[in-house]
Structure 1
Amino acid sequence: MTTGTSDQLGVPLRERLRAALKPAMKARDLSAVSALRSALSAIDNAEAIDAGDGKAGALENSALGLGAAEAARRDLSETEIVQIVRHEIDERRTAAKEYDRLGAAERRDQLTSEADVLTALL
């Protein structure tokens, strides 16, 4: 899988992740697909708004009309997105060390491969 090329300089990380997903799927690179989907999901989850206290209010106080209860998602800065992806990489590397300690080389190699895919896109 080719990643981190000079023609991607200045392209936001989220777009690089999305762009890398399709070729990884076509190549049936399961480690890359897993890492890319996971990172994109982590970014999407970070953009979700706070659900509040989770308590339902009275029905008569409910928003009325199509889209009345919709709330805008958070806009993450490029720095925040990079931090999320770095966290994903760190989690994989930490887990890989633990699997290595336990003698599970196959799982260690998979997590290391996933971390390498994400690292190449930073």
Structure 2
Amino acid sequence: MTAQNTPLRERLRAALPTAMKARDRAAVAALRSALAAIDNAEAVDGSDVRAGAIETSPVGLGTAEVARRHLTESDITALVRTEIDDRLTAAKEYESRPGGADRAATLRAEAAALTTHLDQA
């Protein structure tokens, strides 16, 4: 599988150890945040869980498990684009604050790290 055919989530996961070894803090923060956003989007809404008597509870390994939501590649791409947009918006806000230039630069570096992986698609 070439880099272009590799799903975005796998590219992000593969890039994380590389960024950690390179001690690229901006890339590590951005990659962890994007992967967490993807995992959170797959989480099941627990609002339909009902409490009841223990004797009516399911018994056995995995009987109470619920499958996570399935995200398409376009869903994941949209989440990463949102992460990039959020960082760029925050960077603009930090620029207008006194002493916010460093934080703005960090946010732009994080956005750039994520954009690199989107551009591989």
Same fold by TM-score, threshold 0.5 exceeded?
yes
- Aligned equivalents of 2:110 and 2:60: distance in 1? 44
| One of 39, 42, 45 as aligned partner of 1:44 | 39
Label 1:54 to 1:107 Cα distance change in 2 as closer, same or farther (>3 A).
farther
Runs (4+) of structure 1 moved beyond 6 Å? none
Deviates more, 1:59-68 or 1:71-80: 59-68
Please name the residue that 2:17 is paired with: 22
Please name the residue that 2:94 is paired with: 99
Structure 1 unpaired stretches of 5+: 1-6
Q: Deviations over 1:1-40 (max 9, x none)?
A: xxxxxx5111110011011111100000000000000000
Please name the residue that 1:13 is paired with: 8
1:109 has 2:97 as partner? no
- Aligned equivalents of 1:84 and 1:69: distance in 2? 29
1:121 has 2:117 as partner? yes
* Same amino acid, percent of matched pairs: 59
Instruction: Name the TM-score, length of structure 1 as normaliser.
Output: 0.89
1:64 has 2:93 as partner? no
RMSD: 1.3
Number of aligned residue pairs: 116
